[in-house]
Structure 1
Amino acid sequence: MRPQSTRDAYHLLERWQQVVIMRLRTGHCRLNAHLFRKLKLTPSPTCPCGLEDQTPEHVLMTCPQLKPIRDKVWPASVPLRTKLYGSRQDLEATTSFVSQTKLMV
């Protein structure tokens, strides 16, 4: 008898959503911080907002240029851990946010 497999929230997402979440979780993405430090493909790790490096945390939590979209997707404050490791609905909200920002991650 095989044990019944349980699928966590991540594995219930569509493939493109899984890719977005995994890239954000690991930091291996197309944001300036990674492209600059690891691949030397951008001239600077700084976000276009100019305040700090463009990392997944900055994009999801503090970038002022993305605040209107962030406030629409998450009207109340949501911790980064929930955005990246929460329920299926939390992860879908994160992928929706990334889609709406038009960022390539």
Structure 2
Amino acid sequence: MEKKTLIKAVFRPQKRKDDYHLLTRHEQVVLMRLRTGHNRLNAHMSQKMKLVPSPTCSCGLEDQTTEHILQRCTILDSLRKPVWPTAVSLHCKLYGGEEDLEKTASFVSLSGLTI
């Protein structure tokens, strides 16, 4: 190895990527849209963009928000239970470790929702 490379390796060790940056680009996009609320769910498309007439979810219970689809939507219950068999906080689903973030991204893909 070259001296310069060795010196850099000693004095500037590589930074460990955080869990978010270990995901695929697609998973990162899905999570960022869920985190910020700037997504294609009815609540955002109705209130901010004025592109859909109602912010209500197709389940009819409440507005279709990130929290609603990840935690309470009755239509998505059958998909949610296998991914998260026990109660998991919204914070963990959106900001947890790599495995938690991958589960969230895969759940969104399984749900068929366009985020």
Q: TM-score range by the shorter chain?
A: over 0.9
Q: Which has the larger radius of gyration?
A: 2
5 Å-filtered alignment, 1:14-53, equals 14-53=24-63
- RMSD after superposition: 0.8
Question: Could you tell me how far apart the structure 1 residues matched to 2:13 and 2:51 are?
Answer: 46
Counterpart in 2 of 1:92? Answer: 102
What's the secondary structure of 2:108's corresponding residue? Answer: helix
For residues 35 and 12 of structure 2, what CA distance do their matches in structure 1 show?
31
Code of the residue aligned with 1:95 in structure 2: it is A
TM-score, normalised to structure 1, is 0.97
Q: Match for 2:21: what amino acid?
A: H
Q: Distance in 2 between matches of 1:68 and 1:60?
A: 12
Cross-structure match for 1:5: 15
Gaps of 5+ in 1: none
Q: TM-score, normalised by structure 2?
A: 0.89
SS in structure 2 at match of 1:64: coil
1:80 alignment partner in structure 2: 90
1:63 to 70, 73, 91: 73
Q: How far is the alpha carbon of 1:3 from its aligned partner?
A: 4.9
Aligned residues: 105
- SS state at 2:76 partner: helix
Identity rate, percent: 60
> Which contiguous aligned blocks of 4+ residues in structure 1 show a shift greater than 6 angstroms?
none
SS in 2 for 1:17: helix
Give 3-state SS (helix, strand or coil) of 2:75's partner: helix
Residue 83 of structure 2 aligns to which amino acid in structure 1? V
Partner of 2:8: none
